[in-house]
Structure 1
Amino acid sequence: MIKFKYVILYVEDVELSMNFYKNTFGSEIKFITPEKDYGELMTGETSLSFASVSLANSNIKKGFLTAKKEDKPFGIELGFTTDDVEALVEKALKNGAVLYEDIAVKPWGQKTAYIKDPSNYLVEICTEMQ
C-alpha cells in the first residue's frame, strides 16, 4: 500500500514557521524536536512538516534551492479552503504573511487569494470548488 504521508518545507526558522501555520490556520503542533530543527503539524492524514535548512543540508548532499524573501516563491503552493477568504487572508497578514495576489473570483465561482508565508512559500486561500 502506498500512502502520501507528508510535505516538508525547508525553512530557516522551524518554530516561527510552525507558529505561523498554527496561529493562522489552526493546525495543532504534533511535535517539534528539542533542537527545534524539525516539527510536524496535525493536518489530517497528511502532515505539514518543517525542517531547518541546516538539517535538510545534512540529508540532501547534492543541495537544493532555498526559499528567499527577495525571490519569487517556488512554483508550488499549499492550499487552504475556507468559507471566509477575506477574514483568513487578513489573519494571515497579521501573522506575518505578505499578500501576493489579491482576492479574485474565478469564472467557475471559486474565490481565491495568494499569500507568501514568512518563509516565502506560496499559499492559496480559497473557497471550496463548486
Structure 2
Amino acid sequence: MASGGPKPKLAYIILYVRDVEKAASFYDAAFGYTVRRLDQSRKWAELESGATTIAFTPLHQRETDELSGAVQLPDSSAAGRGSVEVCFAYADVDAAYKRAVDNGAVAVSAPEDKPWGQKSGFVRDMDGNIVRIASYVRE
C-alpha cells in the first residue's frame, strides 16, 4: 500500500439491528454510552463513543449504492458467532459486566483473567451481536 497520504481514520462501526431506537437505548443503559443522535425516521442512531462513532441502522436498510442492493445477513441458523465483535474496555470489568447483564445483555461468559494480560467476559446484545467487556491489555 502506498504511503503517500494521511492514514485513514476509523469513523464508524455500524450495527444492523431490528429496532434502532431500542438498540441505542440498550447500549446507553447496558454499556454506559449516551445516545448522541436518533434521526426522526428512527432508521439511524449514533452513540457518543469517542473518536469512532458506534451507529445503528435497521437490519434491512437498503444501501444508497443501487449496485450493492440490500445488506446480506449471515445465516442465523449457523452455529457459533457472527464475524464481528464489539469490545468495550473498562477499568472495572466485573462491574461493567454486571451492569450489562442487569440491563438486558445475555451472559455468554463471565469475566476472567486471560494469559495475555487482559480480563474479559462476553455478552450478547438484543440482536445477538457479541460484545466483549474487557480491560486494556496489561504489559
TM over 0.5: yes
Structure 2 stretches of 5 or more lacking a match? 1-5
Give yes or no for the alignment of 1:81 onto 2:77. no
1 CA distance for matches of 2:126 and 2:109?
16
Within 1, Cα distance between the matches of 2:22 and 2:80?
20
Which segments of 5 or more consecutive residues in structure 1 lack a partner in the other structure?
Answer: none
Q: Deviation of residue 67 (structure 1)?
A: 8.2
Structure 1 residue ranges (4+ consecutive) displaced by more than 4 angstroms after TM superposition: 66-71
* From 92, 100, 122, the counterpart of 1:92: 100
CA distance in 2, matches of 1:86, 1:4: 28
RMSD (CA atoms): 2.1
> Could you tell me how far apart the structure 2 residues matched to 1:87 and 1:69 are?
32
CA deviation map 1:8-54 (0-9, x unaligned)? 11100111111111112221111111121111111111100000123
**Contact residue 5 and residue 45 of structure 1 kept, 8 A:** yes
Q: Which has the higher contact order (CA 8 A, sep 6+)?
A: 1
1:116 aligns with 2:129: no
Task: Measure the CA separation in 1 of the matches of 2:120 and 2:74.
Answer: 26
Q: What number of residue pairs does the alignment pair up?
A: 128
Give me the whole-angstrom Cα distance separating, in 2, the residues matched to 1:67 and 1:97: 22
Aligned to 1:102: 110
AA of the residue aligned to 1:41: L
1:40 aligned partner: 46
Cα shift readout 1:52-91 (whole Å, capped 9, x = no counterpart): 123x2x2151541158599643132111111221111111
SS at match of 1:93: helix
Q: Calculate percent identity across the aligned residue pairs.
A: 30
Question: Residues 70, 89 of structure 1: CA spacing in aligned structure 2 closer, same or farther, 3 A cutoff?
Answer: farther
